[in-house]
Every structure is written in C-alpha cells, then in structure tokens.
Amino acid sequence: MNTSTAKTEAIASDVWFDDHMMHVRLLDGREINVPIEWFPKLRNATEEEKIKWRLIGKGIGIHWETLDEDILVSALLHG
C-alpha cells in the first residue's frame, strides 16, 4: 500500500520584533520566535530598518532590501 503525506509549505503572513526576538506569524496560525542574535544584520539594524521587510516567494521568505538580508521560513522552522 502506498501512503503519501501532503507536504504543507510554511507561509509567513507577518513579522515583528521585540528587544531580543523576531516573531513570524504563519498563515496557518503558528508563530515562530527566534533570537535576533542568530541574524547579525538584524541584530545591528535600527528599528526603522527592521520594520522595512517584505514577503518574497508568496511568503516562503522575508526580505530586507536596505539590509540585503533574506530569510526562508523553512530555515526558521528547522533552526
């Protein structure tokens, strides 16, 4: 018997920061919280630079133009 599992891609819908963490909300309602320390460009960015993100690939990634930083949501899930 063949059994297949549908692979569901994690898609971001929102991003926000506090003093030490980056928070990413996914379309399915989950939230990923990761230390800013993992991302030196974000760690050293101003608040204004951090909030200037946009979703790329229909939400599979997050891009900061002024910081030249791209983060894949799947990479956040796999640590």
Supply the pLDDT for residue 79: 75
pTM for the model stands at: 0.86
Supply the pLDDT for residue 9: 82
Question: Digits of tens for pLDDT over the chain (79 positions)?
Answer: 444 444 568 999 999 999 999 999 999 999 999 999 999 999 999 999 999 999 999 999 999 999 999 999 999 998 7
Supply the pLDDT for residue 74: 95
**Alpha-carbon distance values, 24 to 4, 7, 11, 39, 49 (Å):** 29, 20, 10, 14, 16
Supply the pLDDT for residue 32: 96
Q: Got the DSSP string for the chain?
A: -----PPPPP-EEEEEE-SSEEEEEETTS-EEEEEGGG-HHHHTS-HHHHT-EEEEGGGTEEEETTTTEEEEHHHHHT-
